[in-house]
């Protein structure tokens, strides 16, 4: 018998890439590949790349440099493939800059990987960055029970891809293309299979997830809220999340879903980017500060324990001190539980890159430091307020000490529990006793909050 061939996949960037990496691994499992965590022993390395900011895109070239050296030193014939958004945006450039690359494959062509690898094996260097007519999801196999188990009880399901919003700073509409929603039946089938394999929490993902408008089994267009209502009826599903949303697409039915669906976690990632109306307009965000703030008020009315996270960009072209103050002010007003913040990075081909009022690097650095200080304080205040609260956590993995397990709170905080009376893949009601910078600690509560949801369908642990 042949030794199985080994596959090492490294994901950069967003959750969509994590999901896609799993789908690629599932496709290649059929071809006899098993996953390894060690690139040195891999027969095939896939870098699943991110193009959102220059820094993210440059990472792929330094990683390729490392791989080239490693291949040379070991005299190995490891194949190297570059996937994801850098592949889509600069496929030819990758081939030119990095002779070590055998295959470049864009996000819409992952189902073609086996053929592309066969061509590469025959000595060709292949680039496939088409947007093919066929639906890749029809050709990407589902994960095996063992693969799902190794990925844990919280899983992602892609429901839509691409974006039609064209924020002036963003490459996504170009790398991921126009917005396309998957048909509802296919999403439900994928979810049912994951639940049957022991998954308890599903995060619906898409670049603009709340713009979802998939074809329903009744032939009508279903919204994200309608899809989630249906998912919430599925046996075994304890928790639902969705990301990433655009403020413009937070429909009334989606807000109502936060009130009506107990499985829908009270945590929403809603990027705002800036607190200045002038900058939001220049970004083509299609919403102002007031719309964002009034949305949050409505969401909190619907679900009083709702917490928010967001994304921010500092130093967008033309951003003045006054604009930046507006952003700080918005952060103070909302009180985010968590947030990501970035310096504006000029991306080739986007309208903002052409702007002549680019902000100086030192100014961006200062503003980012100030914003992050405020966001960290906001997060620390939210975490501190969790002390003494009782909520369910989903146990996901072992902790550092023997007997410890780590679970996720409704707000995605890591919660460490000693000797829990439950296993991985189960919900446990805990009361938070300690709050650290990176995780919380909890003890099992006397009375479970949602006993009906805590019974797993299938054990996650072998």
Q: Least distance to ligand 5AD from the beta carbon of 345, Å?
A: 4
Per CB under 6 A, the list member of 80, 163, 170, 334 interacting with ligand 5AD is 170
Contact residues for 192 (Cβ-Cβ < 8 A; gap 6+): 234
Q: Least distance to ligand 5AD from the beta carbon of 13, Å?
A: 8
- In whole angstroms, how far apart are CA 257 and each of 110, 129, 207? 33, 37, 20
Instruction: Quickly tell me which residue has 């680039």 as its tokens.
Output: 127
Span near ligand SF4 by CB under 6 A; candidates 86-94, 158-166, 212-220, 401-409: 158-166
Q: Least distance to ligand 5AD from the beta carbon of 53, Å?
A: 5
Which of residues 80 and 170 has its CB atom nearest to ligand SF4 in the complex?
A: 170
Span near ligand 5AD by CB under 6 A; candidates 109-117, 140-148, 213-221, 340-348: 340-348
Residues numbered 346 to 405 that lie near ligand 5AD (CB under 6 A) are 347
Residues numbered 268 to 287 that lie near ligand 5AD (CB under 6 A) are 271, 273
Does residue 440 bind ligand SF4 (CB under 6 A)?
Answer: no
Q: Which two tokens mark 205?
A: 């993902």
- Helices (DSSP H) in 404-446: which residue ranges? none
The C-alpha atoms of residue 249 and residue 237 are separated, in whole angstroms, by 25
Nearest CA among 24, 176, 10 for reference residue 114: 24
> Binding string, 8-47, against ligand 5AD, x = CB under 6 A?
----------------------------------------
Bridge-based pairing of strands 440-444 and 427-435 is: antiparallel
Contact residues for 448 (Cβ-Cβ < 8 A; gap 6+): 392, 427, 428, 429, 454
Does residue 165 bind ligand SF4 (CB under 6 A)?
Answer: yes
Q: Least distance to ligand SF4 from the beta carbon of 340, Å?
A: 12
The C-alpha atoms of residue 376 and residue 356 are separated, in whole angstroms, by 32
Does residue 172 bind ligand SF4 (CB under 6 A)?
Answer: yes
Q: Is 386 annotated as a binding residue?
A: no
- How would you label 22-45 residue by residue, b for 16+ Cβ within 10 Å and e otherwise? bbbbbbbbeeebebbeebeebbbb
Nearest CA among 398, 396, 399 for reference residue 425: 396
Which of residues 339 and 394 has its CB atom nearest to ligand SF4 in the complex?
A: 339
Q: Which two tokens mark 322?
A: 């006054």
The C-alpha atoms of residue 257 and residue 228 are separated, in whole angstroms, by 8
Which of residues 79 and 163 has its CB atom nearest to ligand SF4 in the complex?
A: 163
Does residue 166 bind ligand SF4 (CB under 6 A)?
Answer: yes
3-state secondary structure of 127: strand
Q: Name the binder of 23 from ligand SF4, ligand 5AD, none, CB < 5-8 A by kind.
A: none
Q: Least distance to ligand SF4 from the beta carbon of 181, Å?
A: 15
Q: Which two tokens mark 447?
A: 């009375």
> Binding string, 304-323, against ligand 5AD, x = CB under 6 A?
-------x-x----------
* 434 membership: H or E segment, kind and range: strand 427-435
Does residue 167 bind ligand SF4 (CB under 6 A)?
Answer: yes
Does residue 330 bind ligand SF4 (CB under 6 A)?
Answer: no
Does residue 280 bind ligand SF4 (CB under 6 A)?
Answer: no
Nearest CA among 146, 18, 235, 36 for reference residue 460: 146
Q: Least distance to ligand SF4 from the beta carbon of 403, Å?
A: 42
Q: Would you list which residues are annotated within the binding site?
A: 14, 50, 85, 163, 167, 170
């Amino acid at each position: 018998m042949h030794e199985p061939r080994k596959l090492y996949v490294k994901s950069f960037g967003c959750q969509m890439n994590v999901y896609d990496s799993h789908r690629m691994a599932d496709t290649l499992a059929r071809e006899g590949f098993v996953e390894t965590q060690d690139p040195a022993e891999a027969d095939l390395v896939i870098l699943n790349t991110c193009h959102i900011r220059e820094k993210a895109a440059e990472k792929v070239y330094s990683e390729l440099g490392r791989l080239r050296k490693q291949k040379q030193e070991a005299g190995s014939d490891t194949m190297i493939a570059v996937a994801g958004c850098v592949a889509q945006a600069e496929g030819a450039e990758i081939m030119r800059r990095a002779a070590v690359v055998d295959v470049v494959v864009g996000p819409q062509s992952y189902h073609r990987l086996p053929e592309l690898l066969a061509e590469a094996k025959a000595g060709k260097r292949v680039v496939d960055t088409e947007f093919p007519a066929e639906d890749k999801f029809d050709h990407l196999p589902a994960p095996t029970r063992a693969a799902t188990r190794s990925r844990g009880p919280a899983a992602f399901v892609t429901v839509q891809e691409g974006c039609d919003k064209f924020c002036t700073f963003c490459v996504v509409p170009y790398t991921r293309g126009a917005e396309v929603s998957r048909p509802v039946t296919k999403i439900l089938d994928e979810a049912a299979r994951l639940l049957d394999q022991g998954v308890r929490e599903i995060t619906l993902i898409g670049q603009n997830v709340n713009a979802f408008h998939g074809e329903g089994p009744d032939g009508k267009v279903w919204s994200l809220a309608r899809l989630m209502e249906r998912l919430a009826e599925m046996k075994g599903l304890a928790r639902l999340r969705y990301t990433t949303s655009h403020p413009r697409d937070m429909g009334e039915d989606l807000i109502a879903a936060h009130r009506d669906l107990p499985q829908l976690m009270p945590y929403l990632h809603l990027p705002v980017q800036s607190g200045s109306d002038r900058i939001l307009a220049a970004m083509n965000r299609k919403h102002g500060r007031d719309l964002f703030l009034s949305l949050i008020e409505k969401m909190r009315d619907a679900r009083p324990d709702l917490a928010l996270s967001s994304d921010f960009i500092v130093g967008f072209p033309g951003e003045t001190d006054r604009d930046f103050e507006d952003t700080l002010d918005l952060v103070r007003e909302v009180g985010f539980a968590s947030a990501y913040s970035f310096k504006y990075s000029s991306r080739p081909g986007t309208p903002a890159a052409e702007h002549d009022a680019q902000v100086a690097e030192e100014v961006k650095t200062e503003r980012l430091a100030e914003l992050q200080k405020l966001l960290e304080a906001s997060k620390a205040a939210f975490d501190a307020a969790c002390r003494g609260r009782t909520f369910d956590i989903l146990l996901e993995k072992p902790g550092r000490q023997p007997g410890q397990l780590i679970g996720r709170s409704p707000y995605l905080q890591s919660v460490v529990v000693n000797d829990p009376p439950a296993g991985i893949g189960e919900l446990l009601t805990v009361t938070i006793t300690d709050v650290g910078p990176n995780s919380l600690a909890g003890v099992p509560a006397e009375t479970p909050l949602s006993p009906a949801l805590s019974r797993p369908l299938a054990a996650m642990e072998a």
